Chains A and B, each alone.
Chain A
Amino acid sequence: MEEIQTKSRILSIQNLVIQFKLRGQVLTAIRNISLDLYKGESLAIVGESGSGKSVLVKSIIGLLEKNGSVAQGSILYKEDDLTKFSTEKDWLKIRGKEIAMVTQDPMTSLNPLKTIGKQIEECVILHQKLQGKEAYQRTLQLLKDVGIHDVEKRYKQYPHEFSGGMRQRIVIAIAIACNPKILICDEPTTALDVTIQAQILQLLKNLQQKYGLTTIYITHDLGVVAKVADRIAVMYAGDIIEVGQTHEVFFNGKHPYTWALLSSLPQLGAKGEELYSIKGTPPNLFKEIKGDAFAPRNPYALKIDFEERPPFFKVSETHYAKTWLLHPNAPKVELPQNLQAFFEEGRRFAHEH
């Protein structure tokens, strides 16, 4: 896995706080997040539903729900601070053209009344400023790029004539048609079968190379992450609790929540025995969270975890985690056997590479 540190920053999120107004109450969905995205990398944001991963990327592309707003912080892209954008006109400079998105469900994200060719061509005309024959040719090329055969015939067909995997390819073609710099993939394969999932992930990787894209994957599937990501950011209760290169988070994870996520993988369980499960439920984001948000569910929690929010502790140049366990005065903790074995196996692989 290549070094990313030397690459240039393309997007920078700084001290971001996002709040929603709901029935007279305020919900803090994003609690002071800072994150940099480097050019050409592929970053995976991992977390459970409700952890704020979708809200975070929606704020980058200006699709926050009406009752949500940025309360603090900035999102820097090129010369602009995206949090200062207020009108649709501002966002149209960015959305699609600079940052495009592939959504989860290909069954609902296409217009059923238009041929798929027209839907792709629309973006080609709008964003690449091509007309007539040129736009048509470019559309056919895009269809080929996403692995669709018999493109002239397929151009004239409607979404219902395609399978789920094929539709997701078309959604990807539409996103690519805008010539974006950043591609956000929000659970791009959750609705698809495993064999199709593997094909789509491979396609996204190829397109990333071909078009020099920077990609953000949102997913809860650690298998998908292992396949596509250079870096991982783990989210819990509206905060990034650990960030690092893929192998660092997988095989040298430091936050107890990262440990818990890995331990609950069926691959780490022993047949006939209980699978590790995280006790309790995520915190209520309507209330102010004191200390480490994961502390009440964390078997390794220290006293300070309930009182003070941990800062990022540095593990390596590229790897940071927000847990008091990394403080020099923290006691050493013993990891469960199966997780230790998983880490050791991974480090053996790392050694061979």
Chain B
Amino acid sequence: MPMNTKEVLLDVKNLEVAFGKGKNKFQAIDQVSFQIYKGETFGLVGESGSGKTTIGRSIMRINEVTGGEILFHGKPINGKISKEWDREITQKIQMIFQDPMASLNERAKVDYIISEGLMNTKHYKDEAERQKKVHDALLEVGLLPEFASRFPHEFSGGQRQRIGIARALIMEPEFIIADEPISALDVSIRAQVLNLLSNLQKQKGLTYLFIAHDLSIVRFITDRTAVIYKGKIVELAETEKLFANPIHPYTRALISAVPEPNPYKEREKVMEVYDPSQHNYESNPPSFMEIEEGHFVLANDEEMERYRTTLEIEV
């Protein structure tokens, strides 16, 4: 996609999320800004505890935002908003969860699980239309319509994840947050679910926020990627640029730690270790700067100069 024709679908500006108060205050997200364009897959990677899920949850409006704002189609989705807008966001932003064994109601039939969102938003005319929608959603994710009368325990992990996807799709969303959607699945099932997600994206022009810790999958599926470390985005770029020229030492450490399926390469690889104390941020605070077109990195002036030279050498 050419750069200039892109429409910003989701705009996160100086987002801050804090848990607790006073002495126990924990800044989970610290001044995070990024934009997601319509139709793209935006990856968010980081270790556990880095805040990647918290960002997803604040876009879903599950976590309260303590600072900054989130704009969807240019309009804020947090704070005081009109009822109609609230309903529209609820319908247009959907989420796919990590563990399909835990995220489906064990006591409800698939029919109910898939249409629960519909019922809450009254997004259908009559019972016949609701059933038709469930029927179509199941077909779209590659399940049989008669599965609607079964319970979650009757399905395998891959099938359950498809139910989770159908549950999101039936709302006719524009934007889907997929939080580690395939980490709980087996290798061969992963490929099926990834293919399903990208086919649905093509058919329906969906936009994804893909949260994951497995960089080989992020590289395969995303258009742009942001790397998050301790609540701050340290680097953001087009995925191929990020993997070809990782700049920030944390990104470099993260990429070097991904095991490669090649015993020769894997055994000779030199791993980089990230030491946060290498930054001299007390006297020279960092900011989020553009190092090449569309490639941003968190650095202070002195580091920026160093990164620029390494980038020139490597390119």
Contact A264:B190 (CB < 8 A) given known A194-B257, A223-B261: yes
- B265 adjacent to chain A (CB < 8 Å): yes
- B4 adjacent to chain A (CB < 8 Å): no
Within 8 A of A (CB), among B184-214: 186-192, 194-195, 198-199, 213-214
**B205-233 contact mask (Cβ, 8 Å, vs A): 1 or 0:** 00000000111110111000000000000
- B47 adjacent to chain A (CB < 8 Å): yes
**Contact B262 A250, beta carbon cutoff 8 Å:** yes
- B8 adjacent to chain A (CB < 8 Å): no
- B260 adjacent to chain A (CB < 8 Å): yes
- B105 adjacent to chain A (CB < 8 Å): no
- A24 adjacent to chain B (CB < 8 Å): no
- B22 adjacent to chain A (CB < 8 Å): no
- B281 adjacent to chain A (CB < 8 Å): no
**Contact B260 A274, beta carbon cutoff 8 Å:** no
**B26-69 contact mask (Cβ, 8 Å, vs A): 1 or 0:** 00000000000000000000011000000000000000000000
**Contact B220 A48, beta carbon cutoff 8 Å:** no
Main secondary structure of the interface of A (DSSP, over half): helix
- B20 adjacent to chain A (CB < 8 Å): no
**Contact A277 B191, beta carbon cutoff 8 Å:** yes
- B119 adjacent to chain A (CB < 8 Å): no
**Contact A275 B264, beta carbon cutoff 8 Å:** no
**Contact B261 A349, beta carbon cutoff 8 Å:** no
Residues of B within 8 A of A225 (CB): 261, 263
For residue A205, which residue of chain B has the nearest CB?
Answer: B267
**Contact A195 B253, beta carbon cutoff 8 Å:** yes
- B259 adjacent to chain A (CB < 8 Å): yes
Residues of B within 8 A of A25 (CB): none
- B305 adjacent to chain A (CB < 8 Å): no
Residues of A within 8 A of B156 (CB): 281
**B154-188 contact mask (Cβ, 8 Å, vs A): 1 or 0:** 00110000000000000000000000000000111
**Contact A246 B263, beta carbon cutoff 8 Å:** yes
For residue A281, which residue of chain B has the nearest CB?
Answer: B156
- B258 adjacent to chain A (CB < 8 Å): yes
- A92 adjacent to chain B (CB < 8 Å): no
How far apart sit A224 and B188, CA to CA, in the bound complex (Å)?
17
Binds B, one of A2-10, A26-34, A265-273: A265-273
- B118 adjacent to chain A (CB < 8 Å): no
Residues of B within 8 A of A201 (CB): 259
How far apart sit A198 and B219, CA to CA, in the bound complex (Å)?
19
How many Å from the CB of B243 to the closest CB on chain A? 11
- B254 adjacent to chain A (CB < 8 Å): yes
**Contact A227 B266, beta carbon cutoff 8 Å:** yes
**Contact B220 A49, beta carbon cutoff 8 Å:** no
**Contact A195 B47, beta carbon cutoff 8 Å:** yes
**Contact B254 A349, beta carbon cutoff 8 Å:** no
**Contact B216 A266, beta carbon cutoff 8 Å:** yes
For residue A164, which residue of chain B has the nearest CB?
Answer: B48
- B271 adjacent to chain A (CB < 8 Å): yes
How far apart sit A106 and B215, CA to CA, in the bound complex (Å)?
23
Contact A48:B186 (CB < 8 A) given known A195-B254, A197-B257, A275-B195: yes
How many Å from the CB of A239 to the closest CB on chain B? 17
Q: Select one of A196, A223, A260 contacting B258, CB under 8 A.
A: A223
Contact A224:B264 (CB < 8 A) given known A261-B188, A267-B216, A277-B195: no
Contact A247:B263 (CB < 8 A) given known A198-B271, A277-B188: yes
How many Å from the CB of B101 to the closest CB on chain A? 12
**Contact B259 A274, beta carbon cutoff 8 Å:** no
- A113 adjacent to chain B (CB < 8 Å): no
Q: Which of B191, B194, B199 is most buried by chain A, counting CB atoms within 10 A of its CB?
A: B191
How far apart sit A275 and B257, CA to CA, in the bound complex (Å)?
23
How many Å from the CB of A220 to the closest CB on chain B? 5
Within 8 A of B (CB), among A109-163: none
Contact A226:B216 (CB < 8 A) given known A48-B188, A278-B188: no
How far apart sit A1 and B261, CA to CA, in the bound complex (Å)?
16
**Contact A275 B258, beta carbon cutoff 8 Å:** no
How many Å from the CB of B265 to the closest CB on chain A? 7
Q: Select one of A193, A196, A247, A267 contacting B264, CB under 8 A.
A: A247
For residue B157, which residue of chain A has the nearest CB?
Answer: A49
How far apart sit A262 and B262, CA to CA, in the bound complex (Å)?
11
For residue A260, which residue of chain B has the nearest CB?
Answer: B188
For residue A257, which residue of chain B has the nearest CB?
Answer: B188
Residues of A within 8 A of B259 (CB): 194, 197-198, 201, 221, 223-224, 226-227
How far apart sit A346 and B219, CA to CA, in the bound complex (Å)?
21
Q: Select one of B213, B217, B240 contacting A193, CB under 8 A.
A: B213
How far apart sit A49 and B192, CA to CA, in the bound complex (Å)?
16
Ordered by A's residue number, 14 sampled pairs between the chains whose C-beta atoms are within 8 Å are: A193-B47, A195-B274, A197-B257, A198-B271, A201-B259, A221-B259, A223-B266, A224-B259, A226-B260, A226-B266, A276-B191, A278-B188, A349-B262, A352-B264
Interchain residue pairs A-B with the least CB separation, the first 8: A223-B259, A277-B191, A266-B220, A349-B264, A278-B188, A193-B47, A264-B191, A226-B266
* Extra contacts besides A246-B263, A265-B261 (20): CB < 8 Å: A49-B186, A195-B253, A198-B257, A220-B187, A222-B261, A225-B261, A226-B260, A226-B261, A227-B263, A227-B266, A247-B263, A266-B194, A266-B217, A266-B219, A271-B240, A274-B195, A277-B188, A345-B262, A349-B262, A349-B265
